[in-house]
Structure 1
Amino acid sequence: MEISILVLLVVFFGLLLLNVPITFSIGLATLATMLVSIDFIPAVTTMAQRMAGGINSFALLAIPFFILSGLIMGRGGIAKRLIECAMALIGMLPGGLALVNVVSCMFFGAISGSAVAATSAIGSFMLPEMKKQGYDVNYSAAVTAAAATTGMLIPPSNILIVYAIASGGVSIAALFVAGYLPGILLGVSLMLVCAGYAKIKGYPVGARLPLKLVIQKVAAALPSLFMIFLVIGGIIGGIFTATEAGAIAVVYSLILAVGMYREVKISELSGIMMKAAETTAIVLALIATSSAMSWILSYEQIPQTLSAAMLTISENPLLILLMINLILLLVGAFMDMTPAVLIFTPIFLPVAVELGMSPLHFGIMMVLNLSIGLVSPPVGSVLFVSCAIAKTKIEAIIKPMMPLYFAMFVVLMLVTYIPAISEFLPGLFGL
């Protein structure tokens, strides 16, 4: 087993250092590890079987639907209306534009289920406006990146679907509902940091709008926000599954973008669908190779060995959970969320259950943890997107990111050690 672990680590990290795409790095590292204990033909056959089996899941059909609906929403003028709604509601508070940025990312993340999409859609509108109002461009980029991670917790979230599959049976509906309180708590914590930062820097406060105009802006955003209630309400009510909810989200987003707002032309739909297909292919390829890696880890009994080793280090559950969090924070800084969830869920979930943590609670903790990795160098994809929009460099936004990192870590600790934050709403709805 020691040789297998060594081969896996050396090949995987060696390929990453050579800038090989992570999907191929995972796949080649897995195949190399298989060849340590399995002959070539059976190893290749097993690899193919495990990759095919990894994506042979009805629940995964929800992912391309939510990706497509998110892309349609992003092009359909939804982001602009959500921003105007947030501006009307909280734009007059200290650090108003930064707060609007956070709330808009929360709204859009809840609709699109993608942190990258939220960063791109909201950042394209908010970053130029914040710069115009005198906000530091690096701080603005940091706020956009951090706020976009809320969409990983506030449903519908593709990564929660992936965790449901990796965990072997946690309800997608329960995970969706469980993500609300942690996601909102994360957003509120970021808003508190933004308000304090605005006071220190003396950033301008927006004008209070007349009540009539506030009502107009909120009313204009209501059709977009209704999708949240449509999708989640249908799932909680047992009207349709998460996969069917994804299909309904596509239909509803088409009605809004093409029919009501008329900001997406019929001729543009083919390009949007091609982009959705491309993104889906990337995600499913990651899931396929990560599933194969999960299998070889299990075949070599690596999760069981690591679990036993962790439980022998200490009997204090608080210390072990902190250790798991620190490892996942490190993993998130170097690995995309999808393979991280598929690979490390079988390793750490048994340890968490042994400590008395429910699989539902662990899933929310894990996704929140890895969300921080999306804005952590060197691999943080959301950080790169935000920097590209702001036309700045990664190293320039790390300093303004520090108080936001601190807020995110505090929320992570609260979610880790207070199960009710994750489990209250699912229990309330009987999920």
Structure 2
Amino acid sequence: MIVAALLGAFALLLVLGMPVAFAIGVASMLAILLSGESVVVASHYMFAGVNSYLLVAIPMFVLAGDLMLHSGMTKSLTNFADLFVGRMRGGLGHTNIGGSIFFSGITGSATADTTAIGSVMIPAMSENGYGRAYSTAVTVASSAIGPIIPPSLTFVIYALAVGNISIGGLFIAGLVPGLLTAAALMVMNHVISTRRNYPKREFSYSARQAFTITRKSLIVLVMPALIAFGVVTGVYTATEAAAVAAAYALLIGLGMRTLKLRVLPRLFFNASKTSSIMFLLLATSSLFSYVLSTQGVPADIAAAFQGLTDNPLVFLLILNITLLAIGLVIDLYPAILIFGPIFAPIAHSYGIDPIHFGVVFCVNLIVGMNTPPVGSGLFIGAAIGRVKIEELIREITPFILMQLVVLALITYVPILTTGLPRLFGY
């Protein structure tokens, strides 16, 4: 009864439009009251959910991304991508996807990727003969690369949710799946562009132009390299790496005079506001997880899976289907915070590598975020691209299918996610 009340209240509050963090908190408090426990436990578990030094990484990563965004670095990254892939058929589509690869190392956020890359590439693609809905679909689909390739705020949140897992290991493990996703999207873009005879860049850059584009881009791309190098070599922790990234972004923006001092207070405030939302989610999700644990829900779910199969491959198949459904209706971070602590121990009981499972878990929810008919990424993309949601769904479906192929690959070929972390000692 208590679990039914918890889930029913949570669903009802979401339908009524209450913010997710508050819906989780109110539903959890109702369940505690129904159980007869003292409400004092709520403050204890909510505090425990945010009592971690690792959380300092969140505002630092958010701030670093905002600083780079407002330093006008997006154009240099898309030019850098165009340098390599612009001469192919559907070159601007490839450039859009390539830009997401480079941009992911700055923000690690799908929404930031869609907004920044989309504001440049959607008009450019539309003006060069690509359908606006198709241009938006490429942008939304490629935004899934951002939360996978390091540095990934998604992996930081996952590590906080489940505990006892290396953020550095997750960062490295996300590299191959991220690049595979980009390659799969480029294959589909090439097929569609060839069929529709979309244009390609007809001119070649001079050596001087190529050098200028590369120089400007490398200044930006040093930031993800700094983060990856420091975390992998152990020079600094993921939290310290986030601070290094923010400091570097600030120095570059001010040094190149593309970042104005007058916008800094607004950027600091935005980083604080965004981070506070995540902290509230962490706090209320910790309480939500406590209620589920006291009611024996994780054990019941584990027993249900064990009753269905003792084969880890079948378990992963069922889990993938379950997570895709979850990703359709619940935003990425709340889904990680609620379901990560439940499914990670179950995966461990099947002998699945924690890093492998963490990547599969997160990638699955990321794909669900952009999957028709109700993935939240679709509505963000439709608003940015100014297209009808049904047109966007029609154009993005082939790209989602390619992402599902990549998801199947990383699920059933573990070396794709565990190979690099093992090489670096994780």
Shorter-chain TM-score bucket reads: over 0.9
What are the equivalent positions in structure 2 for 1:2-401 lying under 5 Å apart?
A: 3-39=1-37, 42=38, 44-212=39-207, 213-260=209-256, 262-377=257-372, 380-401=375-396
* Letter aligned with residue 132 of structure 1: E
Q: Distance in 1 between matches of 2:252 and 2:409?
A: 38
The offset of 1:379, in angstroms, is 5.2
> Distance between the aligned counterparts of 1:242 and 1:328, measured in 2?
27
Query: How far has the Cα of 1:377 moved from its partner?
Result: 4.7
Which amino acid is 2:134 matched to?
Y
User: Which letter maps to 2:365?
Assistant: L
8 Å CA contact 2:328, 2:376 repeated in 1: no
What is the alpha-carbon distance in structure 1 between the residues aligned to residue 311 and residue 233 of structure 2? 39
> Which runs of 5 or more residues in structure 2 are unaligned?
none
Aligned-partner Cα distance in 2 for 1:329–1:127: 27
Match of 2:413 in 1: 418
Describe the superposition over 1:128-166 as per-residue Cα deviations: whole angstroms up to 9, x where unpaired: 000000111111111101101111111111110111122
For the residues of structure 1 that align with 2:362 and 2:323, how far apart are their CA atoms?
10
SS state at 2:150 partner: coil
User: Residues of 2 paired with 1:339 and 1:357: CA distance?
Assistant: 23
- 1:409 alignment partner in structure 2: 404
Deviation at 1:110, TM superposition (A): 1.6
Is 271-280 or 377-386 further displaced after alignment? 377-386
Matches of 2:413 and 2:206, distance apart in 1: 39
Measure the CA separation in 1 of the matches of 2:390 and 2:270.
Answer: 30
Query: Conserved in 2, the CA contact under 8 Å of 1:152 and 1:159?
Result: yes
Separation in structure 2 between the aligned mates of residue 245 and residue 128 of structure 1, nearest angstrom? 35
SS of 2:146's equivalent? helix
Structure 1 residue ranges, 4+ long, deviating more than 6 angstroms after superposition: none
Distance 1:384 1:338, change over 3 A: same
* Aligned equivalents of 1:97, 1:142: Cα separation in 2: 13
Q: How far 1:349 moved relative to its partner?
A: 1.4
Partner of 1:93: helix, strand, or coil? coil
**Deviation of 1:96 (Å):** 0.5
Asked whether the 8 Å contact 1:89–1:214 carries over to 2, the reply is: no
Query: Would the aligned equivalents of 1:311 and 1:351 in 2 still touch at CA under 8 Å?
Result: no
8 A Cα contact 2:310 2:350, kept in partner: no
CA distance, structure 1, for counterparts of residue 62 and residue 377 of structure 2: 16
1:316 and 1:236 map into 2 onto residues whose CA distance is 33
Following TM superposition, by how much is the alpha carbon of 1:381 offset from its aligned partner in structure 2, in angstroms? 3.5
1:276 counterpart SS class: helix
Contact 1:160 1:175 in 2 (8 A): yes
Distance 1:401 1:38 in 2: 49
SS at match of 1:373: helix
CA contact (8 A) 1:167 1:359 kept: no
SS in 2 for 1:371: helix
Q: CA RMSD in A?
A: 1.2
Asked if structure 2 preserves the Cα contact closer than 8 Å seen for 1:116 and 1:381, the reply is no
Aligned residues: 425
Moved more, 372-381 or 344-353: 372-381
CA contact (8 A) 1:335 1:379 kept: no
> Separation in 2 of the partners of 1:382 and 1:281?
22
How far off is 1:359 after superposition?
1.1
Distance 1:34 1:142 in 2: 43
Seen in structure 2, the aligned counterparts of structure 1 residues 380 and 279 have a Cα distance that, compared at 3 Å, is farther
SS at match of 2:236: coil
Amino acid paired to 2:60? F
With normalisation by structure 2, the TM-score equals 0.97
SS of equivalent to 1:92: coil
Deviations 1:170-206 (A, max 9, x none): 0111111111011111111111111111011110011
For normalisation by structure 1, the TM-score amounts to 0.96
Counterparts of 1:378 and 1:38, CA distance in 2: 40
Aligned-pair CA distance for 1:391: 0.8
- % identity of equivalent residues: 40
Greater CA drift, 348-357 or 91-100:
348-357
